Structure 1
Amino acid sequence: MSSEFIGHVSNREGSDIVPPKGPVVDKDYILNHATAAEEAGIDRLLIGAFSTWPDNNQIAAYLFAKTNRIGALLAHRTGFMSPTLAARQLATLDQFSDGRLWVHIITGGSDADQQRDGDFLDHDRRYDRTDEYLTVLKKVWESEEPFDHEGEFYKVKTAVSQVRPSRQSRIPISFGGSSEAAFKVAGKHADIYALWGEPLDGVRETIGKVRTAAEAFGRADDIRFTIAFRIVVAETEDKAWEKASSILQKVKAIARPGGNGERLPSNAGSVRLREAAARGKVLDKRLWTEVAALTGAGGNSTALLGTPDQVAEAILDYYDAGVSNFLMRGFYPTEDTVTYGRDVVPLVKAGIAARKSRSIAAE
């Protein structure tokens, strides 16, 4: 299976431990970060979507206009526009990018974030809506003739689009969510299923559930998997732990979820990360969980920690478990992205190539 190595870019510099700085839409930061990632060998950058952030479609358009090779994994929240309009917007952006776009579907893990934009459906109903949304969206990309659709959430008549995705019948669809409702929709629609950085046993469990859900649609072998971590890499293991200690102290200085009456994130992915963190501060070989424990695991918050060789070895364990794409987000955004692309990715690629060679030789 082919592999992609993915980083992250935001509208301005900042992270859990780096205070936001610069203008809200910092064009210089976006360009410098994307250029550095491209030069370091990163394949694409995740561009997130939240109710308080600038429009990420326009960030992606800017990134594509200013770079030559790097792709985008564009987060797209369903339920806030017609799927016919979304299909045209995404296909147009894919045309301008010459086929460098993947779309990551966000159904909505946070009720509060959804409600800021007027969405008050409950968790499972949002997934029902996403199912219908993706059905219509894909049909717009694939249909040459006008079509009608009348469902529970959407009704369209003679829908058709002049614009199609650039290099394929449709843009690759990435999908996330750790609930049973999410598995069902992923099994039907996802080309790529995205996991947060769980221990290997949890990853194998989730891969099995997604493939089982996909069997009902005859696509159990069609889905690839992406896993997301933070990254703490240094030239020696001791120095990596020194860096981790510094990161942890900075995280501790931030108000902790649950400490002032705040509710911990209730989505299934966050719950699973907190359960993993309760098992120990280091799981498997290199999975560092202390930041997830401190922050309530509101997002991508577990890390792979060690030297480049050690982190690459840990990534290859996930490859052996069935994961093909690896998303690393830094505590120090540009510095960590460059370190990942320059020092870790070549080692992982070499390990994957060796595995493929052994497999061919054994046939």
Structure 2
Amino acid sequence: MTIKFFGLLTHEHSSETIPKQPGGPVMDIDYMVKQAQAHEAAGFDRILVAHHSSNPDGILLASHLAQKTEKLKFMIAHRPGFIAPAYAARMWATFDNLYPGRAGIHVISGGNDAEQRSDGDFLDHDARYTRTDEWLEVFRKTLTAPTPFDHEGSFFRYSKAYSRIKALQQPYPPVFFGGASDAAVAIGAKHADIWALYGEPLDDTRQMISRIRNAATLAGRDPASINFVVSFRPVVGDTEADAWRKADQIIERIKELRGEAFGTTKGAKPDAVSSQRLRDIAAQGKVRDKRLWTEVAAAVGGGSSTTGLVGTPEQIADSLRDYHKLGISNFLIRGFDPAADIQEFGQGLIPAVHELLSRDEKAAVGA
């Protein structure tokens, strides 16, 4: 099973330990281009372009960055419902033709009611997933239908919908999906090519994979057709002690920046089931399994990807191998100092993972 590494591209230089600069550009174009190029040079296969209701548009950002890179692929986050699905299908097909085979759509139905409403969406959580189901049905059909088609559903209505332009990736660009609620699993299992998971303990990850694949079977799909990407925040050191010193410094910096908000859900996504899961996992201990580090998740309320792996490149590679054995073929890794960590991952961690798995494959053949 081939391992691929994804990164995350932000539109400004910031993280849990690096505050946004007052008066700084909301969209630092030079920074984004350098970061995209750094990911490509470091051996990343794809980058996630995230979405937030107040941030720059993801597909336009990805289009600009695709011009500045050669082969880096994109996982462009998109919230269904704001752009009609047939129109969105033509957007992604156009992108995939302009930048051959580099498009990907990460479908996020929205886990925070307040943020959804700031963009004009007043549907409740489960209704958003019902809309996503219909949206993806039309999106995929638009990219595959050889002739015009009609559609009349609860949210969208079409007469003779058709797209002359089709994606180069057949039958359509990969559909990424995320979510841990019952509604998310039921809908995503019908449509997802690659399911995005936060970094959880091995047993929890195994159970989540089983839950999603069982739902795929109920939906009439081959459960093995769904692949997975798991997100981690690696903290790498020359020695394990060095790595833990870095981890302690990260927590102290977060504590300094968050002040009274430290250890609360302020700034997180408290409505999201996946965030609630991270908070529950963090409450069970600072370190889970060999080296799954939960302190950041506890410090910031579980929002986003906030669980780490702490150790040397070889130790973290060994932990990633454990997830690989569960059937994980993709890892989204990002650090707390985006500029420096990309290079560090490319020089140490990514080669260590490939070397370890290559040795495993050779040993299996020899056996």
- What's the TM-score bracket when you normalise by the shorter of the two chains? over 0.9
**Secondary structure of the equivalent of 1:250?**
helix
Equivalent pair of 1:226/1:326 in contact (CA under 8 Å):
yes
Deviations 1:321-354 (A, max 9, x none): 1111000121111211221222111121222233
Equivalent pair of 1:174/1:190 in contact (CA under 8 Å):
yes
Deviations 1:216-269 (A, max 9, x none): 222211000100011211111111111111110111121427859889713110
Residue 192 in structure 1 maps to residue 194 in structure 2: yes
**Secondary structure of the equivalent of 1:193?**
strand
2:229 to 226, 229, 232: 226
Counterpart for residue 40 of structure 2: 38
1:90 to 89, 92, 100: 92
- In structure 2, the CA distance between the partners of 1:177 and 1:261, relative to structure 1 (3 Å rule), is closer
Deviations 1:5-44 (A, max 9, x none): 0111111111111122442111110111111111111111
Equivalent pair of 1:257/1:264 in contact (CA under 8 Å):
no
**What CA distance in whole angstroms lies between the structure 1 residues aligned with 2:268 and 2:26?**
27
Equivalent pair of 2:48/2:76 in contact (CA under 8 Å):
yes
**What CA distance in whole angstroms lies between the structure 1 residues aligned with 2:49 and 2:67?**
15
- In structure 2, the CA distance between the partners of 1:260 and 1:104, relative to structure 1 (3 Å rule), is closer
TM-score, L = length of structure 2: 0.95
The one-letter code sitting in structure 2 at the alignment partner of 1:249 is E
Residue 265 in structure 1 maps to residue 270 in structure 2: yes
Equivalent pair of 1:228/1:328 in contact (CA under 8 Å):
yes
Counterpart for residue 283 of structure 1: 288
1:318 to 323, 328, 353: 323
- Note the residue ranges of structure 2 that are not aligned, 5 or more in a row: none
Question: Which segment drifts farther, 301-310 or 15-24?
Answer: 15-24
Q: Identical aligned pairs, as a percentage?
A: 44
The one-letter code sitting in structure 2 at the alignment partner of 1:105 is V
2:146 to 136, 144, 147: 144
How many angstroms does 1:357 deviate by?
3.7
**What CA distance in whole angstroms lies between the structure 1 residues aligned with 2:323 and 2:266?**
37
- Note the residue ranges of structure 1 that are not aligned, 5 or more in a row: none
Deviations 1:51-100 (A, max 9, x none): 01011111100110000011111111111110011101111111111111
1:74-153 alignment runs, 5 A limit: 74-153=76-155
**Secondary structure of the equivalent of 1:352?**
helix
How many angstroms does 1:169 deviate by?
1.6
Equivalent pair of 1:229/1:300 in contact (CA under 8 Å):
yes
**What CA distance in whole angstroms lies between the structure 1 residues aligned with 2:67 and 2:299?**
39
Counterpart for residue 4 of structure 2: 4
TM-score, L = length of structure 1: 0.96
**What CA distance in whole angstroms lies between the structure 1 residues aligned with 2:262 and 2:188?**
30
**Secondary structure of the equivalent of 1:45?**
strand
**Secondary structure of the equivalent of 1:316?**
helix
The one-letter code sitting in structure 2 at the alignment partner of 1:60 is A
Equivalent pair of 1:64/1:96 in contact (CA under 8 Å):
no
- In structure 2, the CA distance between the partners of 1:223 and 1:35, relative to structure 1 (3 Å rule), is same
**Secondary structure of the equivalent of 2:12?**
coil
Equivalent pair of 1:292/1:302 in contact (CA under 8 Å):
yes
**What CA distance in whole angstroms lies between the structure 1 residues aligned with 2:352 and 2:266?**
45
- In structure 2, the CA distance between the partners of 1:262 and 1:158, relative to structure 1 (3 Å rule), is closer
Equivalent pair of 1:37/1:334 in contact (CA under 8 Å):
no
How many angstroms does 1:167 deviate by?
3.0
**What CA distance in whole angstroms lies between the structure 2 residues aligned with 1:164 and 1:356?**
37
Counterpart for residue 294 of structure 1: 299
**Secondary structure of the equivalent of 1:310?**
helix
Deviations 1:269-323 (A, max 9, x none): 0111111111110111111100100110111101111110111111111101111
Equivalent pair of 2:264/2:299 in contact (CA under 8 Å):
no
Question: Which segment drifts farther, 47-56 or 330-339?
Answer: 330-339
**What CA distance in whole angstroms lies between the structure 2 residues aligned with 1:30 and 1:139?**
33
RMSD across aligned positions (CA) = 1.7
Residue 241 in structure 1 maps to residue 239 in structure 2: no
Residue 20 in structure 1 maps to residue 20 in structure 2: yes
1:342 to 315, 327, 347: 347
The one-letter code sitting in structure 2 at the alignment partner of 1:241 is W
**Secondary structure of the equivalent of 2:310?**
strand
**Secondary structure of the equivalent of 1:101?**
coil
**What CA distance in whole angstroms lies between the structure 2 residues aligned with 1:60 and 1:181?**
29
- In structure 2, the CA distance between the partners of 1:258 and 1:302, relative to structure 1 (3 Å rule), is closer
The one-letter code sitting in structure 2 at the alignment partner of 1:16 is E
**What CA distance in whole angstroms lies between the structure 2 residues aligned with 1:257 and 1:119?**
30
